[in-house]
Structure 1
Amino acid sequence: MSDPGSASLSAAELQRLSAFLYRQTGMLFGETKRYYIERRLADRYAATGISDFATYFGRLRTDAAERETLVNAFTINETYFYREEHQLACLSRSLLPELITTRQPGDKIRIWSVPCSTGEEAYSIAIWLLENWRLVDAYHVEIIGSDIDTRVLEAAREGLYGERALSRLPPGLRDAYFEPARRHQRRIIQDLRESVSFSPANLIDAASMAVHGVFDVIFCRNVLIYFDEESRLLAAGNLFDRLAPAGFLCLGHTESMSRISQRFDVRRFEDATVFQRPPAT
């Protein structure tokens, strides 16, 4: 392969790279996504000066930074503020009121957005609670966003968003929680940037999940649909282990934990159906 701008893969090479990406992310890639894969691989060839698959794949095995960069290139980061707003309503109207029946004012409540992409979901949770949960100041609410993609975590910490990401936020909230627009972007205010923390985690890697401790509510939306059955089961086990007893898991509207694992109880509230780790006995 002499053309450094080309990343045409043989069937065996495509299978090898797809297997590598599966081990790293739990996501399935293959022949149907050949164009998508080759485009991103061509970018890495150009960036590294490598022009053949064997040399590049050898580098992946020894260069942790390049492995991270390649994984970042293949993760999916489509999101926006107040996505699936009904679950945010469920959080403030049902989940938190139930959780605090066993808490005292001042106690910690931990909420995790994983994967969090560029931070819209984690910041949406913070804004929603400030606007809609009257007891938000009575408890120590800790919100953490995590993602396998280290590049999007940096963007989340920076907190700069374009009009598309903000399109579902009411204008009053944009003005209250974002700095004035500059170059078609608005930055979330410093108080909110400091109130939400971001750190890496991989849904199929138990160790990277475990370092974050346990949570009362986990939002894990619209990612399990990209996994195969084995990866979904592994991710479900890791999510179960990261929930405190009686903690809640919120999935995307097309996802159901009941088809993956029987360890969770199904809870149907006014605004949403969620999945709960059974209380301790």
Structure 2
Amino acid sequence: MSRARKEQVLTADDIRRLCALLYRHTGMIFGESKRYYIERRVADRMAATGAQTFPAYLAHVEADGGEVEHLINIFTVNETYFYREEHQLSCLSRSILPAIVQNRKPGDLVRIWSVPCSTGEEPYSIAVWLLENWPLVDAYHIEIIGSDIDTRVLLEAQDGNYGERALARLPQEVIERYFEPLRDGKRRLIQDLRESVKFTAANLINPASVAAQGKFDVIFCRNVLIYFDDASRLMAVNNLYDALHPEGYICLGHTESMTRISKRFDLRRFEDAIIYQRPGKDRDG
């Protein structure tokens, strides 16, 4: 039986200590302005762990790596849907992938990384889009990886169950082709596509965590750097740079600008979108 949640009133020092812990583990910035948001989530975890006071809960977090994971999971933002920022998907099939494969042989590996991937809409969107819009999709070995720091949403992504809101941007014929209806009004992505994307846990500010994913030709890292401060943003970008093959591409969210973070990338203006590219020769920045 779950424990009842008791509302918590945290002191300014409580907020500071918790936010420092979250920043240390995720690079994300929280503060006094989000007090209500913080107190509700802390109350949930205190109820789940049986902690009677915030200091007792914080001591539990610092002693238990598993609870750190739970805490991170409830503070991550997971707003997404299929075909979000569709112009970048169009750029992927029209410009980026043709540039990548021009010096490769049929059957060669092309790796695409979606991070953070939340509940899977973005990496699955890439898979569906390529099937629908890139004639050469079957000529190469396309490997799509979806990663997130939130281990809870990775399990949801693997299930591939989606409601009307997540599917609203997809053409009806695409929904009919790739999603099976469920009894609760949701739809489930067909098995072949669920198996076409691999999901892994990754922390953008942890070099070892990012390096463990291997090297990529294209990275979609959209709408997460806005939650970081300058220091953690630069750390994440340097890790992403190292995760790209030379001349690999990275897509950011429409409100994010790589040129404000690092000079290591080249800005590329394609017909559909502005994308950033790791140059063939490294530079400092």
Matches within 5 A, 1:28-47: 28-47=29-48
Identify the range of structure 1 (66-75 vs 45-54) with the bigger mean alpha-carbon deviation. 45-54
Point out 4+ residue stretches in structure 1 off by more than 4 angstroms: none
In structure 2, the residue matched to 1:204 is 205
- Alignment of 1:117 with 2:118, yes or no, is yes
Q: Secondary structure at the match of 2:204?
A: coil
Identify the range of structure 1 (3-12 vs 51-60) with the bigger mean alpha-carbon deviation. 3-12
Identify the range of structure 1 (69-78 vs 175-184) with the bigger mean alpha-carbon deviation. 175-184
- Unaligned 5+ residue runs, structure 2? none
State the Cα deviation string for residues 74-95 of structure 1 (Å, max 9, x = none): 0000000000000000000000
Native 8 Å contact 1:21 1:71 kept in 2: yes
Compute the displacement of 1:4 (Å): 6.3
State the Cα deviation string for residues 238-281 of structure 1 (Å, max 9, x = none): 00000000000000011110000000000000000000000148
- Unaligned 5+ residue runs, structure 1? none
Q: What CA distance in whole angstroms lies between the structure 2 residues aligned with 1:182 and 1:226?
A: 37
In structure 2, the residue matched to 1:180 is 181
In structure 1, the residue matched to 2:163 is 162
Native 8 Å contact 2:5 2:44 kept in 1: no
In structure 2, the residue matched to 1:150 is 151
Q: What CA distance in whole angstroms lies between the structure 2 residues aligned with 1:122 and 1:280?
A: 29
In structure 1, the residue matched to 2:268 is 267
In structure 2, the residue matched to 1:61 is 62
**In structure 2, what residue type is equivalent to 1:33?**
K
- Across the aligned residues of Structure 1 and Structure 2, the Cα RMSD in angstroms comes to 1.1
In structure 2, the residue matched to 1:13 is 14
Q: What CA distance in whole angstroms lies between the structure 2 residues aligned with 1:38 and 1:272?
A: 40
In structure 2, the residue matched to 1:192 is 193
**In structure 2, what residue type is equivalent to 1:85?**
E
Q: What CA distance in whole angstroms lies between the structure 2 residues aligned with 1:230 and 1:273?
A: 24
Native 8 Å contact 1:264 1:277 kept in 2: yes
Compute the displacement of 1:129 (Å): 0.2
In structure 1, the residue matched to 2:139 is 138
**In structure 2, what residue type is equivalent to 1:84?**
E
Aligned length: 279
State the Cα deviation string for residues 183-211 of structure 1 (Å, max 9, x = none): 02110000000010000001111111100
Compute the displacement of 1:50 (Å): 1.0
In structure 1, the residue matched to 2:87 is 86
When the two structures are superposed, what TM-score results if normalisation uses the length of structure 2?
0.96
Matches within 5 A, 1:242-261: 242-261=243-262
State the Cα deviation string for residues 54-86 of structure 1 (Å, max 9, x = none): 110110111111110010000000000000000
Identify the range of structure 1 (66-75 vs 174-183) with the bigger mean alpha-carbon deviation. 174-183
Q: What CA distance in whole angstroms lies between the structure 1 residues aligned with 2:246 and 2:53?
A: 50
Compute the displacement of 1:102 (Å): 1.4
Q: Secondary structure at the match of 1:136?
A: coil
Native 8 Å contact 2:45 2:71 kept in 1: yes
Native 8 Å contact 1:4 1:49 kept in 2: no
Q: What CA distance in whole angstroms lies between the structure 1 residues aligned with 2:113 and 2:77?
A: 19
**Identical positions, percent:** 66
In structure 1, the residue matched to 2:222 is 221
Native 8 Å contact 2:93 2:130 kept in 1: yes
Q: What CA distance in whole angstroms lies between the structure 2 residues aligned with 1:243 and 1:37?
A: 35
State the Cα deviation string for residues 80-121 of structure 1 (Å, max 9, x = none): 000000000000000000011111111000000000000000
Compute the displacement of 1:181 (Å): 3.3
Q: What CA distance in whole angstroms lies between the structure 2 residues aligned with 1:220 and 1:267?
A: 16
Q: What CA distance in whole angstroms lies between the structure 2 residues aligned with 1:267 and 1:42?
A: 46
Q: Secondary structure at the match of 1:145?
A: strand
Q: What CA distance in whole angstroms lies between the structure 1 residues aligned with 2:251 and 2:40?
A: 33
Q: What CA distance in whole angstroms lies between the structure 1 residues aligned with 2:152 and 2:64?
A: 17
- Alignment of 1:235 with 2:241, yes or no, is no
**In structure 1, what residue type is equivalent to 2:222?**
R
